[in-house]
Amino acid sequence: MHMMAGKSIQRVLVANRGEIALRLIRTIKELGLEAVAVYEKPDKEALFIRSADDAIMIGDGPRKDYLNIDRIIWAARKSRADAIHPGYGFLAENPDFPSACAEAGITFIGPPSSVIHDLGNKIVARKIMEKAGIPITPGTGNIDPGEGGAQEAIAFGEKYGYPLMLKASSGGGGRGIRKVEDAKALLVQIPLARSEALHAFNDANIYIEKCIENPRHIEIQILADQHGKVIHLGSRDCSIQRRHQKLIEIAPADLPADVLALMCDTAVLAAREAGYISAGTVEFLVDADTNEFWFMEINTRLQVEHTVTEMLTGVDIVREQIMIAQGAHLDIPEVRFHLLGKAIQVRVNAEDPRNDFMPEGGKRVEVYQSPGGPGIRLDGSAYQGYNIPTEYDSLLVKMTVRGHNWEQTVQRLKRALNDFLIVGPKTTIPFYLAICDEPDFQRGKFTTSYLETHPQVFKYPENRREIAKLSQLIAEIHAKKINPYAY
Amino acid sequence: MVQQAISERITPRDLREGGAARVLARIRAGEGYYITNTERDLSQSDFKNRIMPHTQILVSKERNDAGYLSLEITGGASIHVDMLRKQINPLEKLEILSSLMPDTMFQTLCRGINLFGYRPYPENVIRLTVKSFAPYVHLWRVFDFLNYIPNMTAVFEEVQKAGCILEPSICFSTGPEHTDKFYVGKVGEILAVTGDDIILCIKNHGGLGSSKRIGDLVKSILDRYPDLIVHYHGHNTDGNDVGRIVEAVRNGAKIVDAADHAFTGFYGPPPILTVIDTLDEYGHRALGINRQAVVDTSNKLRPQREYYKDLESQFLGFDPTVQTHKLPGGATGSSFEQAVKGDFLHRMPSILQEELPRVQIELGNWWSVTPGSQILWTTAVNNVLNDKRYKDANDDLKNLMLGRYGELPFYKPSDDVYQAVFGPNWKEIVQREKGYQKIEDVDLDVEKKVLDHRLGRAATEGEFVLYLQHPNDAVNFFKFEEKYGKTWVLPPCVWFNKGGFTLGEKFEFSDAYGKHHIVEIGPKQTTKTGDAVVYLNINHHPEPILAELQQEGEGKKRKVALSAKEIAELAQSGDVRSPIKGTVSEIPVTAGEEVSAGQILIVLEAMKMLNNVISEINGVVAEVLISPGDAVDVGDPIMSVEKKV
């Protein structure tokens, strides 16, 4: 990457928390820059603060100050940061944030405000894509709140058939989506979806899309510099989801080469049409039988699952974002776009999958031992003694494994999951292990309905380790100064 | 020489391929005698049955190489103690050891109708139990404490059906009734039931009689039945069992019992090497024996003994007075243990040397072996500790006197004893209730469902069989195993630890699934609730483990010691307290049930005997405060009965 005469960044404020804050700090350090962390009070013991060169407490939180643009800008000024990386979530897709940064003379590491604004509105985004000739699922514009809207909705349903999806125009990340099975439900759901959208996204607008049944969720990672160059870094399959929240991400997607090539070209075209800059993700729905695909949305942020792409390409996407923000030209060799092997990411959460993935907030990680060896990448926030926060998410660590083909990568995933030793909270590890042993997964056959059609993966054994049982007795003998079971 | 030793040796394979009759023919034809290593009896007599699987596994190779005819490794009280105090599944123990000792036949000691427990079992339970143990046990020594043959026939049949070697026993004792003629007659009774393909055991559980007495007995039996294989089993309580063994072999016994010298004590079998070397002088050769392997076993065992020192008898030293009190070696250690726990150790001389012999003669001079030894012992202890002899006789003694356990061999107790035990109406009671008690078969399907319910899962067949022996202790063990895992992998220095470990103390062991572990003791802290957090460095990783401690004092109600008189007074008001320290065996009544004075409310088990707690009043059971399996102490509230107005 050639540096242009752009603004040179010295000190980057990381406007996020948890594993992604740590992940960003790592690249910032690799570039020889300084990293500033910000944190809400409940996060005062967090690991990412230990890695930063400076850390600023921005408020009592929780999930309030990380969303407060003024507080973040204040912290940047206070710490003399000249750039801000928003990570994912929180302010990452708030179009006001890049504007506020610009006003303060701080470089925002991400897309321009206008791009976030346009692509953040699903109706606008669909219109851009439609104009460029990119396939989109049949859908409406914003539904009118009155009787006219209801009629339009019914008419749409009659034309394209049920089920339909009701979506919040400003939604994203799988939130604000409702599936309706018939006209009657449609009329009931419209006002509910509208009030939910207003509450969640501060925008009551909703629209209707035809529902593609049991699709695959495939996305393309793109990078675009300030000089009009747009490239892709290949595909990811994020089909295995729970209520539209991704659980397992795989790169590349298992699709015929010509289909993938067409999707990648389409993604590049879409980004170009949107005037995209920085890293982004173009999401598609793919018919599992015909491989027909439709544009879904562009995520204008670094994604949780960017790690699988990094593992396969060797490209540090965060590094590219920082370079792009400084005005550099993209010059990643094209050989990097041809992904070799397979990578899988799982999110190891402190949750009880059997109890509807109930977070184990408040519990303490008594023992934390993580795997290593070939092909393992860990992005985490947990450590021995870590208290699972009740205020934030329950992610302990993201593990990404890479292998040379699907079979070997699944075996490696299983090995690495077994090498984890986490005592204290329940985790999603036994659940992932059950998936590793499930034949359809082993064959690489899964769609977004995987969990509904494979309920057996929830029937994993919950065995305590034998040594934990034996140690319990040794500890009791020690504490009681006698073995009551022997005398 | 080595070659010969190998061909003389008899292995499980010989039994499997040639059958019991051919194995017996080889023993009969052998020019010398065979040795049984009675590990189980050593453990029971001198170490309160606590020699741990870890130790047995440690010397499994040496013992397997030693060339014993058999290793007595199960049976007697061991099945109960395996679950109760060693926390190992007795069947799993056999499975593990047999895989490590493939060339050695395993032997059990079976109490006939009383099988591996203390009182008669239903016949279908007996048959199922023998079937479950038969795959691991090649040689079955079977006895009855009254030498009453019908009490053993179900076991005989199942053992022979399973293709195992059957070894019926005549229990031996001394006194005017215990003549050669009597015992030869008993052998005849056995052979009439079993046929000729058996080994006959002379079971000298007390180590009674002189060398000459045993030699004469063997000779008398063999004079009458020359082809019979005699297996002499004795105890070294008086220090002279080697003498008895020598005379037994010189008079034709083909198999004798002894044990590894590194662990020999005072009440169990004598050392193997002493037997071999002594008999060698007389020109009798131990067949199949690899002498070096016998030595190696003890060399390896020796450093382990220190971990067992708390399990050795409170009294060390031989006890020639056994010829008077006749307590079997297997019950000596536990008797002293009870004397210590019951705080009557100082009365042991009078119990052992005066009261016990007296009770024995009064009750019929039959054999002091389980369950008879417990009846004699408990009765003698009660006679000494209570103000009146034969007061509050337990059900076992009553059943025995009613003939329910079988015919008494020589004579009945006197009328005075019957009156003391059954009260003034004794004649009527005896007339009404006397006779052999046939135990009804249990409904195995129902029992299995009860067990599944108590475990909250389907029990395995092995677990079910163990449950049928000792229901409450088996369930407690299964729950222990679920919580603590397979703890038999732990070395005895961990299992028998007293006083806690030292900081930095390290244990290496592999678990039951083969994984190797290192556990290092770290610091210990006390929590606000008074429990302890122990830091263990498990496989190089520190792990805090919460150990809940029962808080005495503030937290729990302080125990008040009640006298027998106070307990009796409370019972009159319906406040039922435990009169003894024991375990709740059975609760025949439920809350809300009407009860009348004299009705059994609760059955408590102590010293292996059942004791009834009787309602003193007519009323309604208001509350049941305990459950089967609970341990109770003297004075603990166990039930309340509301008086009927």
Give the whole-number percent of chain A exceeding pLDDT 70.
Answer: 98
Interface of B with A in 529-588 (CB under 8 A): 531-532, 534, 536, 538-539, 541-547, 549
Pairing of strands A395-403, A342-349: antiparallel
The residue of chain B nearest to residue A470, with distances taken between CA atoms, is B484
Of chain B, the end-to-end C-alpha distance in Å amounts to 86
| pLDDT > 90? residue A6 | no
pLDDT reported for residue A2: 47
Burial of B225 (0-12, 13-18, 19+ CB in 10 A): middle
In this structure, the number of other CB atoms found within 10 A of the CB of residue A158 comes to: 10
pLDDT reported for residue B558: 44
ipTM over 0.90: no
pLDDT reported for residue B554: 41
With cut-offs at 50, 70 and 90, classify the pLDDT of residue A91: very high
pLDDT reported for residue B560: 56
| pLDDT > 90? residue B567 | no
B539 interaction partners in chain A (CB closer than 8 Å): 467
**Which whole number is the average pLDDT over A360-375?**
95
Say what angle helices A122-131 and A113-120 make with each other, to 10 degrees. Answer: 90
pLDDT in tens, A41-65: 999 999 999 999 999 999 998 999 9
The residue of chain A nearest to residue B512, with distances taken between CA atoms, is A466
Give the whole-number percent of chain B exceeding pLDDT 90.
Answer: 77
C-beta of residue B183 within 8 angstroms of C-beta of residue B172: yes
pLDDT in tens, A171-209: 765 677 888 999 898 888 888 888 888 888 888 899 998
Residues paired with residue B545 on neighbouring β-strands, in sequence order: B534
| pLDDT > 60? residue B5 | no
pLDDT in tens, B41-85: 999 999 999 999 999 999 999 999 999 999 999 999 999 999 999
Fold designation for A138-210: Dna Ligase; domain 1 (3.30.1490)
B490 interaction partners in chain A (CB closer than 8 Å): 470, 473-474
Pairing of strands B582-586, B631-632: antiparallel
Interface of B with A in 479-538 (CB under 8 A): 480, 483-487, 489-490, 494-501, 507, 511-513, 515, 517, 519, 521, 524, 531-532, 534, 536, 538
pLDDT reported for residue B645: 66
pLDDT reported for residue B552: 47
| A301 in catalytic set | yes
Output the pTM of the full model.
0.83
Are B532 and A470 within 8 A, CB to CB? Answer: no
pLDDT reported for residue A212: 87
Contacts of B467 (CB under 8 A, 6+ apart): B447, B451, B459, B474, B475
pLDDT reported for residue A402: 97
CA distance B353 to chain A (A): 28
Give the whole-number percent of chain A exceeding pLDDT 90.
Answer: 79
Domains (range + CATH), chain B: 2-311 (3.20.20.70), 342-433 (no CATH), 499-549 (3.10.600.10), 564-643 (2.40.50.100)
The lowest-confidence range among B360-374, B379-393, B491-505, B617-631 is: B617-631
With cut-offs at 50, 70 and 90, classify the pLDDT of residue B616: confident
pLDDT reported for residue B422: 94
The C-alpha atoms of residue A46 and residue A37 are separated, in whole angstroms, by 11
Are A479 and B500 within 8 A, CB to CB? Answer: yes
CATH code for the domain defined by A11-109: 3.40.50.20
With cut-offs at 50, 70 and 90, classify the pLDDT of residue B543: very high
| pLDDT > 70? residue A3 | no
Task: Count how many pairs of residues, chain A against chain B, have C-beta atoms within 8 Å.
Answer: 106
Mean of pLDDT over chain B? 92
| Residue ranges of chain A that CATH labels 3.30.1490.20 | 138-210
pLDDT reported for residue A5: 45
Catalytic residue, chosen from A194, A301, A347, A402, is: A301
Pairing of strands A395-403, A351-352: unpaired
CA angle B133-B139-B140, nearest 5°? Answer: 70
C-beta of residue B190 within 8 angstroms of C-beta of residue B141: no
Say what angle helices B123-133 and B153-161 make with each other, to 10 degrees. Answer: 30
CA distance A485 to chain B (A): 6
| pLDDT > 90? residue B337 | no
pLDDT in tens, B363-386: 999 999 999 999 999 999 999 988
Q: Name the DSSP class of A92.
A: T
| pLDDT > 50? residue B144 | yes
In this structure, the number of other CB atoms found within 10 A of the CB of residue A331 comes to: 11
Burial of B335 (0-12, 13-18, 19+ CB in 10 A): buried
Q: Name the DSSP class of B259.
A: B
**Which whole number is the average pLDDT over A241-254?**
92
**Which whole number is the average pLDDT over B336-364?**
91
> Does the CB of B26 have a partner CB in chain A at under 8 Å?
no
Are B484 and A481 within 8 A, CB to CB? Answer: no
Structure tokens at B570: 């409370």
A384 interaction partners in chain B (CB closer than 8 Å): 542
Residue A305 three-state SS: coil
Instruction: Give the phi and the psi of residue B214 in degrees, each rounded to 5.
Output: -70, -40
pLDDT in tens, A256-282: 999 999 999 999 999 999 999 999 999
| pLDDT > 60? residue A228 | yes
Question: What is the enclosing helix (H) or strand (E) of B279?
Answer: helix B272-281
B486 interaction partners in chain A (CB closer than 8 Å): 466, 470
Are A478 and B500 within 8 A, CB to CB? Answer: yes
The C-alpha atoms of residue B631 and residue B611 are separated, in whole angstroms, by 14
Mean of pLDDT over chain A? 93
In this structure, the number of other CB atoms found within 10 A of the CB of residue B84 comes to: 20
Instruction: Give the phi and the psi of residue B596 in degrees, each rounded to 5.
Output: -120, 160
| pLDDT > 90? residue A325 | yes
| Residue ranges of chain A that CATH labels 3.40.50.20 | 11-109
pLDDT reported for residue B577: 87
Fold designation for A216-458: D-amino Acid Aminotransferase; Chain A, domain 1 (3.30.470)
With cut-offs at 50, 70 and 90, classify the pLDDT of residue B592: confident
With cut-offs at 50, 70 and 90, classify the pLDDT of residue B160: very high
Instruction: Look at residues B227, B156, B163 and name the one whose alpha carbon lies nearest to residue B15.
Output: B163
pLDDT reported for residue A173: 59
Instruction: Look at residues B245, B275, B269 and name the one whose alpha carbon lies nearest to residue B329.
Output: B269
pLDDT in tens, B196-243: 999 999 999 999 999 999 999 999 999 999 999 999 999 999 999 999
Higher pLDDT, B642 or B297: B297
The C-alpha atoms of residue B58 and residue B78 are separated, in whole angstroms, by 19
| Residue ranges of chain A that CATH labels 3.30.470.20 | 216-458
| pLDDT > 60? residue A240 | yes
